[in-house]
Structure 1
Amino acid sequence: MREKILIGATDLFLNYGFKSVTMDDIANKLGISKKTIYQHFDNKTKLVQASTLQLFEFISEGINHICALEKNPIEEIYSIKQFIMEHLKNEKSSPQYQLQKYYPRIFKTLKEKQFCTMQDCVTNNLNRGIQLGLYRDTIHMDFISRIYFNAMIVIKDKDLFPEDKFSMPMLMNNYLEYHLRGICTPKGLEIVTNYINSNQS
């Protein structure tokens, strides 16, 4: 039952946001009583914490699986972006922004976990890109990996990028192009341009 509650709650949180979803909403969706939820989670904060941790682990496993395929590093970045967007529902409820605003302690813990995972992933991607001649060998990898991670956090700030002006797919696509054009060699830029042109809707 605990797993069923987590899955149902996570789906609601991603669709409607951490703030607006109530324990009543979760109980109604699952066809159970609030009492049943409270038998597994003391309060909503505990449920949000468990939900975000489970989602983080699921996303991390997916990213690790994509990295294990050892695709072209540029294609790998876009594959990870696609995977994350699909499983975070295109972030239409701004989950990260709401988490930061209403559950700052949970956000801080999650951000630290995300940083460790992304640091390894991005550094490996940069190394392979340099080895294949797709990224410039003069880039400062630690700097780039940290900028990459923090920019991914910043573009989800709805105060800075209001939803009526910036959709999440638009922000992600523009940021990835910005990132890649800053580190690619001419050979890499050709792949980026071809990828963008072939995936334009």
Structure 2
Amino acid sequence: MRKKIINKSAELFLTLGFKSVTMDDIANELGISKKTIYQNFDNKTKLVEAATLNMFDNICDGIDHICNASHNPIEELYDIKMFVMTYLKNEKASPQFQLKKYYPQIHQNLQTKQFEKMHISVKHSMQKGVDTGLFRQNIDVDFIARMYFNGMSGIKDESIFPSTLFTMEYLTESYLEYHLRAICSEDGLKTLTQFITNNQS
């Protein structure tokens, strides 16, 4: 039952936002009493924490699978972007923004975990790009990996990139191309251009 509550809560939080969803909403969706939820979680904050950690673990598993199966680091970054966007439902309800505003401690802990995971993953991907000649030989892999995380976090700042002007899909797509054009070698730029041309909707 605990797993069912976490999964349904995560789905609702992503669709409607962390602040908007009540314990009553979750109970009604599951067809259980609110008491049952409180038998598993002391309060909503504990449930939000469990749901976000569960989402994080699921995303990490998906990213690992993509990295293990990828043909090259350019396609890999696009595949990861698409997987995360799909999993997070394009963040239409700005869950990241609500989490930061209403559950700052959970957001901070999650941000730390995200950085640790992404730093290792992106560094590995960058090095693979350098080794295969798709990325420039002289890039500082550790610095670029940190910049990439900082940029991906930055585009989620509602005060700088308001959702009334930018969709999350546009922001992630634009930032990813911006990032790759900065580090690609000549061969990498050809691969990137070919990939974008082939995948334009």
Give the TM-score range, shorter chain. Answer: over 0.9
Unaligned runs of 5+ in 1: none
Structure-2 residue corresponding to 1:133: 133
What is residue 22 of structure 1 aligned with on the other side? Answer: 22
For 1:195 and 1:71, how far apart are their aligned partners in 2? 12
Q: Secondary structure of 1:49's partner?
A: helix
> How many residue pairs get matched?
201
- C-alpha separation in 1, matches of 2:21 and 2:107: 17
**Displacement over 2 Å in runs of 4+:** none
Partner of 2:55: 55
Secondary structure at 1:160 match in 2: coil
Q: Which has the larger displacement, 141-150 or 173-182?
A: 141-150
Aligned amino acid, residue 199 of structure 2: N
Residues in 2 aligned to 1:188 and 1:25: alpha-carbon distance in whole angstroms: 49
* In structure 1, C-alpha distance between the alignment counterparts of 2:158 and 2:3, rounded to whole Å: 31
Where do 1:1-201 residues align within 5 Å? 1-201=1-201
Shift of 1:193: 1.0
Q: Output the TM-score relative to the length of structure 1.
A: 0.98
For 1:167, the aligned partner's letter is: T
Q: Equivalent residue of 1:180, what SS?
A: helix
Distance 1:49 1:132 in 2: 40
Task: Provide, for residues 110-155 of structure 1, a one-character-per-residue CA deviation record: whole Å limited to 9, x for no partner.
Answer: 1111111101110010101001100001111111101101111111
Deviation at 1:76, TM superposition (A): 0.4
In 2: Cα distance, 1:58 partner to 1:197 partner: 30
TM-score, with normalisation over the residues of structure 2? 0.98
Find the aligned partners of 1:126 and 1:133 in 2 and give their Cα distance.
11
Q: CA deviation at 1:70?
A: 3.9
Cα deviation, residue 69, structure 1: 1.4
Q: What is the rounded CA distance, in whole Å, between the counterparts of 1:144 and 1:68 in structure 2?
A: 21
What amino acid is aligned across from residue 94 of structure 1 in structure 2? Answer: S
User: In 2, distance between residues paired with 1:106 and 1:39?
Assistant: 21
Distance 1:71 1:47 in 2: 38
> Cα RMSD between the aligned structures?
0.8
**CA offsets 1:87-124 (integer angstroms, 9 cap, x no match):** 10011111111111111100111111111110111001
Gaps of 5+ in 2: none
Tell me by how many angstroms 1:71 deviates. 2.0
- How far, CA to CA, are the matches of 1:104 and 1:137 in structure 2? 39
Query: What whole-Å deviation, never above 9, does each CA across 1:36-92 have from its counterpart, x for those lacking one?
Result: 100000100000000000110010011011111142110000010111011100111
TM-superposed deviation, 1:26: 0.6
CA shift, 1:199, in A, is 1.5
Aligned equivalents of 1:123 and 1:173: distance in 2?
20
- Deviations along 1:9-38, one digit per CA (max 9) or x if unpaired, are 000000010011111111111111111100
